[in-house]
Amino acid sequence: MRYFLELRYDGGAYCGWQRQNDVPSVQRTIERALSTLLRSETETVGAGRTDTGVNASYYVAHFDAERPIEDCARLVYKLNLILPPDIGVMAVSPVADDAHARFDAVRREYRYYVEQCKNPFTRGGSWQYYVPLDVDAMNRAAERLLHYDDFTSFAKLNSNNKTNICHIYRAEWERDGDRLCFTICADRFLRNMVRAIVGTLVDVGRGRYSVGEFDDIVASRDLSRSSGGAPAQGLFLSDVVYPEDIFERKAR
């Protein structure tokens, strides 16, 4: 039987979601815990990759169990007992045998946090950047992203992407006191894409680029013209959406 696993994690100690040899990953850590509790070697398939140091306030993976899980809530409880403090499981739900955490997802949402004051208690979950920023200009530039579908200008080199086409539905900065939050929602994302977009938008905010120049960067399909990627710790995968007949989010 197949199950969807809803979880969240602090990515600071991991090479990312993806299982890799000889380095810690979120996927491998989850698989070890599941294998221990289900008493069978258990592999997971995630909704997508997150890079080294990137966090997830909401993430979905699927796994197959040899026998039906009688009490999903108890499995969640036991998983959280044996998982490290930086990974938390929120729900386990049965789904159809052909449901797929990655391929059935229709939208993903990321949030990036920038703090404009020094705060030692939040340094692991934000980019603390003290230069004054023109948020209105950053939002005018972000709105231009909705007019494009080729994001080669923000695609990591040698990523083996079959296509750099993505459809962005939302891209917006919001201010909450000294903290800025950039929310971006699309059908798919390229490796390092969100961090490269954030880094370039911040350069708009500090006056390095105008909104028109940002527009030209996107249109150029030239990675060398965009800014360096923003630091990993400020980035969170915050939502994964599926068709209602496939899966409906349980954890909030």
State the pLDDT at residue 158: 63
Whole-number CA gyration radius for the chain: 19
Say whether 203 is catalytic: no
Q: What angle do CA 172, 175, 181 make, to 5 degrees?
A: 55
State the pLDDT at residue 7: 97
Q: What is the largest CA-CA distance in the chain?
A: 59
Mean pLDDT (the chain) is 94
Q: How far apart are CA 125 and CA 235, in angstroms?
A: 8
State the pLDDT at residue 184: 98
Among the listed residues 30, 26, 22, the one whose alpha carbon sits nearest the alpha carbon of residue 13: 26
Mean pLDDT on 14-37: 94
Cβ neighbours around 96 below 10 Å, total: 12
State the pLDDT at residue 162: 79
State the pLDDT at residue 156: 80
Q: What is the per-residue pLDDT across 179-236, written as a single tens digit (0 to 9) for each?
A: 999 999 999 999 899 999 999 999 999 999 999 999 999 999 988 899 888 999 999 9
> Could you say which of 51, 104, 215, 239 is catalytic?
51
State the pLDDT at residue 160: 66
Mean pLDDT on 154-170: 84
Mean pLDDT on 118-126: 91
Mean pLDDT on 145-159: 88
Q: How far apart are CA 241 and CA 247, in angstroms?
A: 8
Q: What is the per-residue pLDDT across 79-115, written as a single tens digit (0 to 9) for each?
A: 999 999 999 999 999 999 999 999 999 999 999 999 9
For the chain, domains (ranges, CATH) are: 2-104 (3.30.70.580), 107-238 (3.30.70.660)
Q: Is the pLDDT of residue 5 over 70?
A: yes
Look up residue 99 and give its two tokens: 């449901």
Q: Is the pLDDT of residue 172 over 90?
A: yes
Contacts with 26 (C-beta within 8 Å, 6 or more apart), sequence order: 9, 11, 14, 16, 17, 50, 56, 59, 87
